[in-house]
Amino acid sequence: MEQVRIGIIGAGLRSGIAKYFHNPNGKSVVVGAADISFEKLKAFQEKINESAYITTDYKELIKRDDIDAIVVLSPDYLHEEHAIAALEAGKHVYCEKPLAITVEGCDRIIETAKKCGKHLMVGFNMRYMSMYQTMKGIVDSGVIGELKAVWVRHFVGLGGYYYYHDWHGTSQNTTSLLLQKGSHDLDVIHWITGKYTKKVSAMGGLDYYGGDKPNHLTCPTCTEKDTCPEASLHTLTQCAFRKEIDVEDNNMLIMELEGGIKASYLQCHFTPDYSRNYTFIGTKGRVENDDVGGKVYVKTRKSGSWHEYSNVTYDMKKEQGSHGGADPKICKDFIELVLNNKQPLTTPFAGRMSVAVGCAATESIRSGGKVVEISKESTITI
């Protein structure tokens, strides 16, 4: 195989990544797409490939002989169904994070990929962002000593618009936003430390969104749209204060990782700004990022060496491509995986473990903050 022929499941907002897969004169080409919305499919054709095959039945897409790999960009609760069906149809699979909304779902996908002998890759594009690659390089260099603590604060300034005006707002579709939104952060913690979480205790609540509004209410039809601070008149329009919303908008996790590393993760969806702040603390210093200002800071402490007299600031350079230049890189890695068996920066097991932490933390939150152990063992056998 010299060129990977790709089919896309899900022509919504995330489908913009398809442009990095469509290189007719290169190593991959997008030849088809499936979505329940024919209108979105037509728009997809116009943006990506006018001659692409389109269908409202994903099963019609995955059975085509002119498709080698499927990119799953559908809503979270459909990832398991779509990924397994594609693998069983003999296709390689790129699945957007989270891999599934349950640990059992992740395990079923991973075991199916093994059984079918097909490649499976998870869309952890933060591993491909230069800022976090820089932080990992610093930690791995040993300049901050032996890693002991990790603090992560995630300010989701557009949380209402992104997650409470559509399907994301209910646990039956997401389990928790600790999977949808937090899976990136939990994975970066695991990736940079090189350790997985062993146990977690968490607190959280639905402190702002949700409420007593009718589930069928939309912003354009609401009499309060001119005064409501969360009114959305754009793509996502379901009321952010409707009754069915039941996923926490304010979460605090405390984790113990392998090797005794202590970590905390805070996520809030009604903050005024958007940023991710990571701090890794070792026995000789710490590294911290400023993703708004594009900086990574290394601060050292007394160590009996020249390092204690030199703090370092890294200025991140701007890159081409969405998600800080990460999307074109991760798409390229998937193609190299399929064509040349070159292993990417992400792994299916890492996808499984970030979901495991998110599910365990959600269980802890909804049971009063109890400590929940996390197993690395598969929950199923095929």
Of the pLDDT bands very low, low, confident and very high (cuts 50, 70, 90), residue 3 is very high
Mean pLDDT (the chain, rounded): 95
| Domain-wise residue ranges, the chain | 4-123, 127-209+245-326+352-373
* Amino acid 310: pLDDT: 85
Angle between helices 348-365 and 103-116 (to 10 degrees): 160
* Amino acid 26: pLDDT: 95
Q: Mind listing the pLDDT tens digit for each residue in 281-316? A: 999 999 999 999 999 999 998 877 777 788 999 999
**Is pLDDT of 238 > 90?**
yes
* Amino acid 61: pLDDT: 98
Of the pLDDT bands very low, low, confident and very high (cuts 50, 70, 90), residue 13 is confident
Query: pLDDT higher for 306 or 112?
Result: 112
How far, rounded to the nearest angstrom, does the alpha carbon of residue 353 sit from its chain's CA centroid? Answer: 12
* Amino acid 382: pLDDT: 61
**Is pLDDT of 235 > 80?**
no
**Is pLDDT of 71 > 90?**
yes
Q: What is the mean pLDDT of residues 235-264?
A: 96
Q: What is the mean pLDDT of residues 77-94?
A: 98
Determine the Cα–Cα distance for residues 265 and 257; give it in Å rounded to an integer: 13
**Is pLDDT of 216 > 70?**
yes
Count of positions (residues) in the chain: 382
Q: Mind listing the pLDDT tens digit for each residue in 128-142? A: 999 999 999 999 999
Contact 365, 371 (CB under 8 A): no
* Amino acid 1: pLDDT: 80
* Amino acid 343: pLDDT: 96
Nearest to 30 by CA among 11, 65, 4: 4
Q: What is the mean pLDDT of residues 227-238?
A: 87
Determine the Cα–Cα distance for residues 270 and 160; give it in Å rounded to an integer: 7
* Amino acid 270: pLDDT: 96
Name the token pair of 299: 């601060």
Which one-letter amino acid corresponds to residue 109? I
- From the number of C-beta atoms within 10 Å of its C-beta (0-12, 13-18, 19+), residue 311 rates as exposed
* Amino acid 302: pLDDT: 80
Could you say which of 3.40.50.720, 3.50.50.60, 3.40.710.10, 1.25.40.10 is the CATH number of the domain covering 4-123? 3.40.50.720
* Amino acid 63: pLDDT: 96
Domains 4-123 and 127-209+245-326+352-373 share a fold: no
Of the pLDDT bands very low, low, confident and very high (cuts 50, 70, 90), residue 236 is confident
**Is pLDDT of 234 > 80?**
no
Nearest to 337 by CA among 73, 19, 123, 188: 123
Percent pLDDT > 90 in the chain is: 90
Determine the Cα–Cα distance for residues 37 and 51; give it in Å rounded to an integer: 18
Determine the Cα–Cα distance for residues 364 and 59; give it in Å rounded to an integer: 37
Architecture of domain 127-209+245-326+352-373: 2-Layer Sandwich (3.30)
Q: What is the mean pLDDT of residues 224-230?
A: 93
* Amino acid 47: pLDDT: 95
> What are the residues whose beta carbons fall under 8 Å from the beta carbon of 136, sequence distance 6 or more?
191, 192
Q: Mind listing the pLDDT tens digit for each residue in 325-356? A: 999 999 999 999 999 999 999 999 999 999 99
